Structure formats: C-alpha cells, structure tokens
Amino acid sequence: MADNTWSRRHIISLEDFTTNDYQTILQTATSFREVLSRRTKKVPALQGQVITNLFFEPSTRTRSSFELAAKRLSADILNFSPSNSSLKKGETILDTAKTYLAMGTNLMVIRHQQAGVPTIIAQEMDRINSGVGILNAGDGQHAHPSQALLDLFTICSSLDKTNPNISLLKGKKVVIVGDILHSRVARSNIWSLTTCGADVHLVAPPTLLPKHFLEAFSQPPKTGKTDESMGNLYLHWQLAPALENADFVMALRLQHERMSEHLLPSLREYHQQFGITRERLNACKPTVKIMHPGPTNRGVELTSDLMDDPHLSLVPMQVTSGVATRMALLYLIGGMQ
C-alpha cells in the first residue's frame, strides 16, 4: 500500500525508485484507466499547463501515446520536431530546452538517441529553478522508464485487474529475451521488476548479453532496500532453461542494425535459437503471457500466431496501459510544480 506521497520532479531512470513510488504509480494509473473507460475521457488536471514533446529521436508510437495522455489531462501540447529545427542551425540542446521553457513549458517529455540528455536538461532546469519537470521518453541505451512502468502496470493488471499492486509480483518469473545489451527497455524493466520482487531472467546470445552485463545491477540498490524483498537477476545464453516455469515472457525488438554490426548472423538463425514459438511456451507456466514493447518483427522475435492470440499476448494491453500510465506520470510530476 502506497502512502500516496510523491516527491519527484523528474522521471529519468528507475534506478532509485522505491516500492512506494511504484505503488503510487500503479494506483494513479488505475484511476486514470477508470477515467478512460468513461464516455467523457478528459480530466482538467493539467489545464493551462504546457507539455512540450522534445523528440530529438523520431518516434510515432511513443509520441502519440504521450500526446493522447496529455490531451486527456487537458494540457496544451507543443511538439518540437528535430528536422529543420534550430538544432541544425547550431543551437545547443540546452538552449532549445530553455527556449521552450521561456515560452511557458511546464513539463518536457524528452527522447534522444544519446544517453544522458534528459539528465543534463533536468539538472539545468533545476539549477535555474525553472520548476519544470522532465520525463525521459527514452535516451540512448540508458533508460525508458515510461515503457517499464507501463509494462509493470500491464503485468500487475493481468494478475489482478481491479487492484494491480506490486505484491502480486512476489516470486513471479519474468523472462526478457533479445537484444539486452542495447536495450533501454530491458534496463528499465530490470530495475522496476526486481525492486517489486519479481525474478528476472535475461536471455540472449552472448554478443547481445555479455557476462559483465550483470555488474551494473550487482550493487546494492540505491533505494537502500534489503535484498530479501527484491527479486533476483539471472543470465541465460540459451532459451529453453530460461523459459521453464516462466510467468511472463517479454521479447525485445531486434534492430536490423545488429546484423550489419556482425552481432548476429541472420534473422532466421536468431529466430531458430531465440524466437518465441507456441511449442517453446510449453515449458512455461500454463498461465504464461507474452509481451513486446513494439514495433514487432513478426516471425523474428515471436511467431505471428502468438502475437495475435488474445489469451497469450499482452501486447495490445501494453499499448492501452501506456496511455493511462503516461497520464499518471504526467499528473504526478505535474503536481510537483
């Protein structure tokens, strides 16, 4: 049970998120999901506030999700597009952010191909006492907190729709398959899922999951939580043992660049070794669910029939949860101003 206190002005990474933070987010997202089921789907929570989408790295899916969330909260939205923008004219990213600040922006949703950009902007916004909140919508291979939080909301909701809460995760086995090394989605999910008590099993070929990968996560968590309530993290280089008794299997998107970088021989071979198929799911719990952050390469990360099986696939629920979760995040940091 969360004590409903929220004290973060920014959401950049989940490294230091506490169980209480997660619980507050789940509760807030649950109430916004209820709003979205009404005929009038809007709340005036952020009326008069300006949310600026600074998507230096292009995105349709995530930007649309944030845009709809912002509209549902009655905020005004400004969209910065990198093409033809001041950046090409030599302006620094901080100056771009400050320009939108000076226009009256209250919250910035930032995506950038380089890790650390949202952090740098957040530090500067704090240094000048702007009061602006920063929400990281994906930075390089560092973090994608809103994706991990919508995944958390999806997993908990699939376990108990009316009362999704983190205690449901205790002892659950979540398998993350794919390009772990380059995935900000994986990194953020590792923090949230283990902190909430799930055991996380990572599976990939060694080129995409080096042995030293664990080191970044082997420190005691910054939240000071005792290890005992936390889930554990396991590495696998073969799919079969990882899938045994799994409750959730999350396949990551495979970037085509990995082939030209010689990290993978071919999509076909990847699918043969690490693709999720109906047969392979037999090793999992009978209630197993599959997830994917999208966009999916059908027939590569998972077979087409699994993707379309409403009893197995949580993929559409992930997208739906995205709007409610992002409403919750914007609402929570919007209230910190």
- Closer residue to its own copies, CB minimum distance, 100 or 237: 100
Q: Enumerate binding residues for its own copies (CB under 8 A).
A: 36, 38-42, 47-48, 50, 58-61, 64-65, 67-68, 71-72, 76, 78, 80-81, 83-86, 89-92, 95-96, 98-104, 253, 256, 294-298, 315-320, 322-323
Residue type at position 245: N
Q: How far apart are CA 206 and CA 180, in angstroms?
A: 10
Q: How far apart are CA 20 and CA 223, in angstroms?
A: 11
At its nearest, how many Å lie between its own copies and the CB of residue 120?
A: 15
How far is the CA of 279 from the CAs of 135, 159, 221, in angstroms?
40, 23, 37
Residue type at position 192: S
How do 289-291 and 248-251 pair as beta strands?
parallel
At its nearest, how many Å lie between its own copies and the CB of residue 130?
A: 10
- Closer residue to its own copies, CB minimum distance, 63 or 285: 63
- Closer residue to its own copies, CB minimum distance, 41 or 170: 41
Helices 19-36 and 184-195 cross at an angle (nearest 10°) of 110
- Closer residue to its own copies, CB minimum distance, 111 or 172: 111
- Closer residue to its own copies, CB minimum distance, 204 or 323: 323
Total residue count of the chain as it appears in this document: 337
Cα torsion at 200, 113, 102, 128 (round to 10°)?
A: 60
- Closer residue to its own copies, CB minimum distance, 100 or 217: 100
Q: Which helix (H) or strand (E) holds 54?
A: strand 50-55
At its nearest, how many Å lie between its own copies and the CB of residue 225?
A: 33
3-state SS, residue 84: coil
At its nearest, how many Å lie between its own copies and the CB of residue 98?
A: 7
At its nearest, how many Å lie between its own copies and the CB of residue 257?
A: 11
Which residues on adjacent β-strands are paired with residue 201? 175, 234
Give yes or no for a cis peptide into 118 (omega within 30° of 0): no
At its nearest, how many Å lie between its own copies and the CB of residue 317?
A: 8
